[in-house]
Structure 1
Amino acid sequence: MTDVVGFGRLWVVQAVAAAGGIGGGLWATRLWGMAVLAGGLGMLLPPFIAAPARRRRQTAEALAWQAWTRQIAELARSGAGLGDALAASTEHAPPQIAATVSRAARTARLVGLRAATDELAAVGQVWEPEAAAGLRIAASSGGPLAGPLSDLAGRIGDIVALHRARTEAVVQLWTQTIALLALAGGVVTLMYRNNPAYFEPYRTPTGQAVLLLIAFVLLGATAFLVRHSVVRAEPSVLVAPKRASRAPDPL
């Protein structure tokens, strides 16, 4: 629910920034190409600027699930049953997932483990289905719980490692993109401030058309960089894809 609200707010910010960019660019330069470029950047940059906070939340959640699966495996290794281990893990569960773990433990106590794992799998699409599947395997193994739960902890750890490696690569691209955008913006601003006559040819109808074409090319390149500079949490392979023709990529 929080992600949906945040997404809605982001669209409002993008719309306001785009309108402000178009108005400000047209007022400052009287060039439609510059107005379109400023408005397009206003539309593209808010999610790009918000990306670091989103990456931190995703990484914190990933590490929380990694810590919790290791914790429940250790509880099982100490002799606790799966229901008892699940209940005991609520006391020290990481804050990012404490509410989810508490609900699952309460459902396991009142209705049963199967209902608890089904509820857990339905909570999210990235980590929760993996954790729920591991708990189901442990519950149905018929042997010691420590082995299946340790396997679950190892699998979650592998997925987290892939997530962090991907995040590091995206952070590098984000840094490069912000540097290129800052350099390009600074150069254009200095050119317009120090030599406004440079833009005089673009005030003709043909010049306006050429400048619009340049603006669309620059916005297309920027959109490509922005899209690949944002970490997107891919659904678990255990979740059915929304489009049957395209299976989700694992993290």
Structure 2
Amino acid sequence: MTQDVLTGLLLGAGLALSVGLVVLGVRPRAEGERVVRRRQLPFRASGRQWVVAAVVGLLVGAATGWPVAGILTLVGVLTLPNLLVGDRHAAARTEKLEALALWAEMLRDTLSAAAGLEQAILATAPVAPQAVQAEAARLAGRIEDGQPLGEALRTFAEEVDDATCDMVTAALVMAAERQARQLAPLLGQLAAATREQVTMRLRTEAGRSRVRTSVRVITVTTLGMAGGLAVLNRAYLDPYSTATGQIVLAGVGGLFAVAFWWLMKIATLEEDPRILKGVRPAAGVEVVVR
């Protein structure tokens, strides 16, 4: 009976994998679409986190005698903190957006006082908001060293690495290399649009915080129940010590992993694509920004 169950599970997994591959293969693609495959994990973890997760996984595996429990513990230690604590990267980007909006307004006001673009950057760099102050200071340093303004601005955009910063930097590059006009009003409009984006992100993050609260409740309840059974009624968990029990435990853990991955996906803000990434200066017709 055990062998029949194992065979059925393997056949079912193989069938599900085959159907998924067929669906992926026959999915229609737009003409000229390029498929880019990035081999990366769906979470960020440092080397220290990997060491801690490996040690905790080994301890749990040795204490329970279940290899699958050790593997699930390792994955949980690596992924659950990012899901339960919150998206720190999103919070840092929101702070950077606010700083970019303020710096754009500072440049607008300085340009309105009949100052040139280079002078405006040099004047505002020392008092730029904290989130972009280091990058603005390096930008001013490159300008003082004689680097062309367009090249210095592109380097600034690469350092900040933000799609909204690319919009502001593109306006500055156009003004520096293609003699664009009406730069001050454009910077004001970009600053206003950036502040609206910040407001939208804050509202979205407030809604997604409820998802994280639900995940915390589910995680604490599940781990508390499993730990209580392991300490108070270990005999109830004895069936998991068999090969079939380990397969069932792996299936249950896989379902939880998929559910948590999905919750992590819907609780994470996707970043907009950058427009200046890899862009090099090119000769062209003078562009007038109205």
TM-score (norm 1): 0.77
- The residue type equivalent to 2:78 in the other structure is M
Q: Which is worse superposed, 193-202 or 105-114? A: 105-114
Segments of 5+ residues of structure 2 without an aligned counterpart are 1-43, 280-290
Partner residue of 1:154 out of 181, 188, 192: 192
Cα distance in 2, alignment partners of residues 194 and 233 from structure 1: 46
Give the C-alpha shift of residue 89 in structure 1: 0.7
Q: Partner residue of 2:52?
A: 17
Partner residue of 1:105 out of 140, 156, 179: 140
Q: Partner residue of 2:154?
A: 118
The aligned length equals 233
1:183-223 Cα deviation digits (max 9, x unpaired)? 21112222322322211222233222222222222222223
Q: Which is worse superposed, 135-144 or 197-206? A: 135-144
Mapping of residues 72-151 of structure 1, within 5 Å: 72-109=107-144, 110-126=146-162, 127-139=164-176, 140=178, 143-151=181-189
Q: Partner residue of 1:57?
A: 92
- The residue type equivalent to 2:239 in the other structure is P
Give the C-alpha shift of residue 163 in structure 1: 3.6
- The residue type equivalent to 2:185 in the other structure is G
- The residue type equivalent to 1:114 in the other structure is G
Give the C-alpha shift of residue 147 in structure 1: 1.4
Cα distance in 2, alignment partners of residues 37 and 30 from structure 1: 13
CA spacing shift, 1:102–1:45, aligned 2, 3 Å: same
Mapping of residues 173-212 of structure 1, within 5 Å: 173-212=211-250
Give the C-alpha shift of residue 93 in structure 1: 0.4
Question: For the Cα contact (< 8 Å) 1:129–1:236, is it kept in 2?
Answer: yes
Question: For the Cα contact (< 8 Å) 1:117–1:136, is it kept in 2?
Answer: yes
Query: Which one has the largest radius of gyration?
Result: 2
- The residue type equivalent to 1:123 in the other structure is E
- The residue type equivalent to 1:99 in the other structure is A
Cα distance in 1, alignment partners of residues 244 and 154 from structure 2: 63
Counterpart of 1:128 in 2: which secondary structure?
helix
1:115-154 Cα deviation digits (max 9, x unpaired)? 3322223324314322211213445465444212212322
Counterpart of 1:167 in 2: which secondary structure?
helix
Cα distance in 2, alignment partners of residues 55 and 142 from structure 1: 33
Cα distance in 1, alignment partners of residues 143 and 94 from structure 2: 28
Question: For the Cα contact (< 8 Å) 2:158–2:277, is it kept in 1?
Answer: no
Give the C-alpha shift of residue 75 in structure 1: 1.7
Question: For the Cα contact (< 8 Å) 1:69–1:156, is it kept in 2?
Answer: no
CA spacing shift, 1:148–1:204, aligned 2, 3 Å: closer
Question: For the Cα contact (< 8 Å) 1:121–1:132, is it kept in 2?
Answer: yes
- Sequence identity (%): 23
Counterpart of 1:91 in 2: which secondary structure?
helix
CA spacing shift, 1:71–1:192, aligned 2, 3 Å: same
Question: For the Cα contact (< 8 Å) 2:61–2:69, is it kept in 1?
Answer: yes
Counterpart of 2:46 in 1: which secondary structure?
helix
Question: For the Cα contact (< 8 Å) 2:84–2:216, is it kept in 1?
Answer: no
Partner residue of 2:206 out of 151, 168, 177: 168
Question: For the Cα contact (< 8 Å) 2:174–2:180, is it kept in 1?
Answer: no
CA spacing shift, 1:56–1:112, aligned 2, 3 Å: same
Cα distance in 2, alignment partners of residues 103 and 160 from structure 1: 25
Cα distance in 1, alignment partners of residues 73 and 183 from structure 2: 59
Cα distance in 2, alignment partners of residues 61 and 114 from structure 1: 22
Give the C-alpha shift of residue 69 in structure 1: 0.9
